[in-house]
Structure 1
Amino acid sequence: MSAAEKHIEGELIARPERTPDALRMALARLAPHRLADMEKQKNEAFQIAAQTNSLGPIQGWLTIWAGEVEVERRPDLMARRREAEGVVQTRDRDDPEWRAAMDEILAVLREARGAAG
């Protein structure tokens, strides 16, 4: 088990390596209903990478999905995101609670992506 795969109390699974296969296997265990979106976005990232001769789109995809897996495997982050998403879906955009909920969603994503490295 690598350092990245160390399992910490309260996490549903150990943090996977930051590779397409490891992230896909983790998502399959945590949120299999999201696999089609993951695969679609991966294909788009690889297509753009090939067209632009740049690894940026692939690195971006890895960052996004490592963060999504991090949220899915950590009940604390998932609860924060779900609560904030509920506010976003039920409030008007001019409501200060809507803005606060959007800020919370962004904070969750920043924390998740930072932790997933």
Structure 2
Amino acid sequence: MTVQHAEHDGPLIPKPPLTLPALRQAVAAVAPSRLPEFFEDMQNAFVQAGEEGRVVPIRMFYRRWGVVVEIERHPMTARRLHEAERAVDSEHAAVRDQAIREVGEIVRAAHREVEGG
């Protein structure tokens, strides 16, 4: 999967299926600095699933990283999210409030897209 840089907010890569190989490849393409976090989360999810005897932690891992990829594969969306995340630390209440709304909107939209809606 090769990332092509674009001037618009078109996706850098196609939307990957929520499988371990596809998500690993997608994270490597759109957010390579987050691969250590991806692998740590993966390990924790699989350990938790084994300890609990259920697959919910694995499904949540797939969904979480599907959302990360959905945001990061759209450069303008990712930029807006990261700017809003920084603004959450503003000393101005109005700036913080707007940043919190922006983060929420972006993340909710990504969740809807990952859910197929």
TM over 0.5: yes
Gaps of 5+ in 1: 1-8
Q: CA deviation at 1:85?
A: 1.3
1:32 aligns with 2:39: no
Between the aligned residues of both structures, percent identity stands at 32
Structure 2 CA distance, aligned partners of 1:106 and 1:52? 30
Query: Which amino acid counterpart does residue 67 of structure 2 have in structure 1?
Result: G
1:14 maps to 14
Q: CA deviation at 1:10?
A: 1.1
Query: Which amino acid counterpart does residue 15 of structure 1 have in structure 2?
Result: K
Q: CA deviation at 1:83?
A: 2.0
Structure 2 CA distance, aligned partners of 1:113 and 1:22? 18
Deviates more, 1:29-38 or 1:98-107: 98-107
Structure 1 CA distance, aligned partners of 2:105 and 2:49? 28
Root-mean-square deviation (Å): 1.6
Deviations 1:57-116 (A, max 9, x none): 111111110000011101232122022112113x14x71321321221122111112112
TM-score calculated relative to the size of structure 2: 0.83
* Equivalenced residues, count: 107
1:98 corresponds, among 66, 71, 96, to 96
Moved >6 Å (runs of 4+):
none
Deviates more, 1:31-40 or 1:71-80: 71-80
1:114 corresponds, among 97, 112, 115, to 112
Deviations 1:38-58 (A, max 9, x none): 010011011111111111111
Query: Which amino acid counterpart does residue 22 of structure 1 have in structure 2?
Result: A
Query: Which amino acid counterpart does residue 18 of structure 2 have in structure 1?
Result: R
Query: Which amino acid counterpart does residue 40 of structure 1 have in structure 2?
Result: E
SS of the residue 1:85 aligns to: helix
TM-score calculated relative to the size of structure 1: 0.83
- Of Structure 1 and Structure 2, the greater helix share is in 1
